[in-house]
Amino acid sequence: MRAVIQRVSHARVTVDGEVVGAIGAGVLVLLGVRKGDTERDLFWLVDKICELRMFRDEDGKMNRSLLDIAGEVLVVSQFTLCADCRKGRRPGFDQAADPAEAERFYEQAVMRFRERGLKTESGRFGAIMQVDLRNDGPVTFVIESPGSKQLGAKCGE
């Protein structure tokens, strides 16, 4: 599993002109699910995001977690994070999970964040979405679960 985490002051996702999810201060999570990902990968990834010290303390240092600040979470499915760009000019998506499997993990991720006590919103799986955000910092991290296969990230080679 691969996620791109952006610390935001606010974010929202829109489908067909309708806002389907919106948050205040917290994180936008773009989530990519790969073939072979497990619930263990999912739990590890969600827990890592919840506990990662990426928010400023009173001294301006990144010493506070999402849980510490009671931040909000917006989860958006992003199968393109599973792209293999190592060859040619067109990304390959062979490593992306089957849509039904990916949706199941996506829904589990949303529930897991809620179980951790965080206000959590989501996009709409499989829809064409517009995501608006104000990146706070900017602070952005790419996190991969330990069991996830690493794919090349050099597009255009």
Both tokens assigned to 74: 């917006």
pLDDT reported for residue 142: 96
Q: Which residues of the chain have pLDDT under 70?
A: 148-157
pTM, to two decimals:
0.91
pLDDT reported for residue 153: 42
CATH number belonging to domain 2-144: 3.50.80.10
**120 flagged as catalytic:** no
| CA-based nearest residue to 68, from 110, 27, 16 | 27
pLDDT reported for residue 147: 78
pLDDT reported for residue 155: 36
Catalytic residue, from 6, 14, 78, 120: name it: 78
Give the Å distances, CA to CA, from 125 to 24, 48, 112.
21, 23, 17
pLDDT reported for residue 65: 98
- In the block, tokens 């000019």 appear at 89
Catalytic residue, from 79, 95, 105, 113: name it: 79
**78 flagged as catalytic:** yes
Percent over 90 (pLDDT), the chain: 91
